[in-house]
A and B are shown apart, each in its own frame.
Chain A
Amino acid sequence: MGIATSDKPFTERIKDAEADKFMRASVAKAQDAQFQKRTEARRQLGHWEGWRDLSAEIRQHVIKHLPDYLEEFSDNVQKNGGHVFFAKDGNEASAFIKQLAIKKNVHHVVKSKSMVTTEIGLDKELLTIPGLSLMETDLAEFILQEDNWDEPTHIVFPTLHKNRNQIQKVFEKLGYDGDNDPEHMARFVRHYLRNYFMQADFGITGCNFAIADNGMINLVTNEGNADISMAIPKTQVVVMGMERIVPSLKEAEVLDNVLCRSAVGQKLTSYCTFSKGKEADEADGPDDFYVVIVDNGRSKMLNTDFEPMLQCIRCGSCLNVCPVYRQVGGKGYGSIYPGPMGEVLSPILGGYQEFKELPYACSLCAACTETCPVKIPLHELIRHHRYVEMDELHLDHSPSNALLKAVGKGTSSPTLFNDAMRFAHIALEPFGKKTTPEDIKNLYPDGKINHLPAIAPKLAHGWVDVRDLAVPPKYHQNFRHWYRHYEEEEEQEND
């Protein structure tokens, strides 16, 4: 189990996603709604750029001193009576948690949404334990679980690809007989899950931020399910990516502020919890408290050009502004981490072979970089993946590779470029058609090309199959000729 969500080739996934009209409409609607909410929530805070600077600084500081902060956090968890396990990869983390569940003779596991548990494939691993029941308690993740473990398509809104009717169908299998009103359905799930909570003996949560100087876990949710997952079971396991750490509560306050506003457009989510193991004299909270800190490929980013990606706080706002995500939703990416952050993260965590197409599914429009609350230069990192693929790993052996290298030659030699200008019209004119009054104005003065023979390069087809191309002007009518002529006239006038 990796972070891949599909075995289909990239192009097929894109075609599937684009054929899903409902999904595209719902993603577009969600993006537009989030645009309004996010902008307003950030505006209310004021000095947004200052908050971004501060947040980026906090994250960079932590990443720079990561071993120290991890040690401090781990010491404090243990001081509080908890246990810490450092897992090199997903297998180690899952195996540890599975062994723990077996040792504790656990029967009823409740989980609250966590990307890192999805990343390490924890659910499926735990379900191999005979007699164990596992229940995802986050509403959206619950829907996915009950829909035959459908894959999440957004890191904050996992069921963005489903509409209320589809969700109603999922719930009908569980005995729901109401209408498709979200409130009614949510109430049903609330009752449905209550029983599982009450008998749960093992709770698994993620972690938004781990506080180094007091060993606490900070979680932000809107449903409160994470809080019950922590309060009732006797054993609690927190699974966190190794970079999700902040020095103290002060920094957590800054980051919670930007996280909630960026993720869901709220000042703060309904629940913002700081917790550790059970305090003496208190009734609720776990007797046994474990924190599993997962590397799983993250340390590969340290001290490389990709290090800024470790700043990510998983708010998902880059997905919500991405024009490519808007068209293909989460499924098009084939990774549990979709959108811009996923294009950077997936090839690192899951390998270039599996995800080599992802960095190219981007127009480098930089909307992600602009919105990122911790100032990760996402579009630059996406471009950097292309560099690693082309110049370091040489993954492309197609004719497009040769063609682009030829473009490289052509744009570095004035003689070759001059030849290109000289022959552009002659070479392309045979494919051109005359401009007619039905054509758009001022784009095709010398004719248009709307069809290419099959043998034309794939890249040329890529352009012309979708849009009309202008026939280049005749050599003596191009800009440079005009300029030379214009200058000469000017000089004559001046004389």
Chain B
Amino acid sequence: MISNYIFSIFKEAKCIQLMHACMKVCIFSTCIVDLLYPDVGKATVELLQRFGCETFFPDKQICCGQPTYNSGYDRETITTFKNQLDALLSIDADYIVGPSGSCVAMLHEYKNIFKDDPEYSKKAQILYDKSFELTQFIYRVLGILDCGAELDDTATFHRSCHMTRLLGERTAPIVLLEHVKGLELIPLHNIQLCCGFGGTFSAKEPLLSEAMVDDKANNVLKTKAHILIACEQTCLMNIGGRINRRRDGSHITIMHIAEVLNHNVDTSRITYVKDTDHVMVPANGNGVF
């Protein structure tokens, strides 16, 4: 509780940097980053540390469970959920932050899945309160407007479905991207349409998924932007992978938003929101000091 108290004092005094310095953040890497895209994970860690957060990585974490849960294998997935929950809570961090809106939304869903389990329902509630998607955490919790990044190029942003519709976050990534120096954002036509990834859907229903991703790829190419950005590496794998197969977009660079916000950073440009009122106090009050 003492940390909460000190945190509130810093908040009152609008000492936002000091607030960050007392935050312990558990990195939720996601299995895709672990298996395929180390650079996204690196950018995530570097960003959080730059803002003063102390990061931790529990080794036992694996996957949020979506591949099997969303395919209908509820029973098989229960152990996956429990392993993930226990792993992420094994470190007494103030926050759990991951570079994927979809995977974080899945962590939130544990609350419903374990609602009848006396032991895990409590843990799931803690997980729910502590877990944030990366840009959501940077903007809403750390209260940062400008990450100090610079990227002189044109880009378009793919708005991921689970991030916007299940996690309910559509503002944070846009605000942060708009503050990247030199970055010109070109609107993506039909931004609300799914790219056709859908987890195992993309492998189980390749015909449907192909038609959907072709639509999305066409819209991306029509923007003539050089960079495609998203908060979801899996969507990028799908859209980028399709464009690469079609051989019609070799000028495109794929960047996870963490890589953009971590690009060419000048720390003197880091800007905080003026009003710290929307900056949240950690959900638990455990042991920072």
Q: Does B bind A? A: yes
A390 pairs with B72, CB closer than 8 A: yes
A463 pairs with B202, CB closer than 8 A: yes
Given contacts A470-B37, A472-B36, A479-B34, contact A440 B250 (CB under 8 A): yes
B237 pairs with A470, CB closer than 8 A: yes
Given contacts A323-B196, A327-B208, A417-B62, contact A364 B242 (CB under 8 A): no
B72 pairs with A383, CB closer than 8 A: yes
Contacts of A400 in B (CB 8 A): 204
- Tell which of A323, A417, A420 has the most Cβ of chain B within 10 Å: A323
B198 pairs with A363, CB closer than 8 A: yes
A482 at interface by CB-CB < 8 Å: yes
A414 at interface by CB-CB < 8 Å: yes
Please measure, in the bound complex, the distance between the C-alpha atom of A460 and the C-alpha atom of B62, giving whole angstroms: 21
Residues of B in contact (CB 8 Å), total 80
B5 at interface by CB-CB < 8 Å: no
Query: What is the 8 Å Cβ interface bit string for chain A, positions 283-327, against chain B (1 contact, 0 not)?
Result: 000000000000000000000000000000000000001011011
Please measure, in the bound complex, the distance between the C-alpha atom of A469 and the C-alpha atom of B238, giving whole angstroms: 9
Query: What is the 8 Å Cβ interface bit string for chain B, positions 55-93, against chain A (1 contact, 0 not)?
Result: 001011011010111111111110110110001000000
Given contacts A366-B162, A414-B59, A479-B41, contact A360 B205 (CB under 8 A): yes
CB distance from B71 to the nearest CB of A (A): 5
Chain-A contact segment, one of B15-23, B137-145, B252-260, B268-276: B252-260
Closest Cβ neighbor of A324 among chain B residues: B208
B241 at interface by CB-CB < 8 Å: yes
Contacts of B210 in A (CB 8 A): 466
Given contacts A473-B38, A480-B57, contact A404 B254 (CB under 8 A): no
Pick the residue among B41, B68, B215 that contacts A482 (CB under 8 A).
Answer: B41
B244 pairs with A486, CB closer than 8 A: no
CB distance from B218 to the nearest CB of A (A): 11
- Tell which of A362, A364, A390, A414 has the most Cβ of chain B within 10 Å: A364
- Tell which of B68, B190, B247 has the most Cβ of chain A within 10 Å: B68
Q: Is the interface of B mostly helix, strand, loop or mixed?
A: helix
- Tell which of A363, A407, A487 has the most Cβ of chain B within 10 Å: A363
Given contacts A323-B194, A466-B213, contact A364 B199 (CB under 8 A): yes
B161 pairs with A366, CB closer than 8 A: yes
Closest Cβ neighbor of A463 among chain B residues: B203
Please measure, in the bound complex, the distance between the C-alpha atom of A18 and the C-alpha atom of B214, giving whole angstroms: 12
B31 pairs with A404, CB closer than 8 A: no
Query: What is the 8 Å Cβ interface bit string for chain A, positions 389-400, against chain B (1 contact, 0 not)?
Result: 111000000001
Pick the residue among A364, A391, A487 that contacts B201 (CB under 8 A).
Answer: A364
A270 at interface by CB-CB < 8 Å: no
A466 pairs with B80, CB closer than 8 A: no
Query: What is the 8 Å Cβ interface bit string for chain A, positions 207-243, against chain B (1 contact, 0 not)?
Result: 0000000000000000000000000000000000000
B115 at interface by CB-CB < 8 Å: no
B65 pairs with A466, CB closer than 8 A: no
B212 at interface by CB-CB < 8 Å: yes
B244 pairs with A439, CB closer than 8 A: yes
CB distance from A393 to the nearest CB of B (A): 10
Within 8 A of B (CB), among A474-488: 477-480, 482-483, 486-487
Pick the residue among B40, B165, B208, B215 that contacts A367 (CB under 8 A).
Answer: B165
Within 8 A of B (CB), among A99-151: none
Pick the residue among A14, A360, A385, A420 that contacts B35 (CB under 8 A).
Answer: A420
Closest Cβ neighbor of B166 among chain A residues: A366
Pick the residue among A468, A473, A480 that contacts B36 (CB under 8 A).
Answer: A473
Residues of A that sit less than 8 Å from B by CB: 11, 14-15, 18, 24, 32, 35, 321, 323-324, 326-328, 359-367, 369-370, 383, 385-391, 400, 404-405, 407-414, 417, 420-421, 424, 437-445, 448, 450, 459-463, 465-470, 472-473, 477-480, 482-483, 486-487
Other 12 A-B pairs with CB < 8 A, given A24-B211, A480-B29: A321-B192, A413-B79, A414-B62, A414-B87, A421-B35, A440-B240, A440-B250, A444-B244, A466-B245, A468-B244, A480-B34, A483-B41
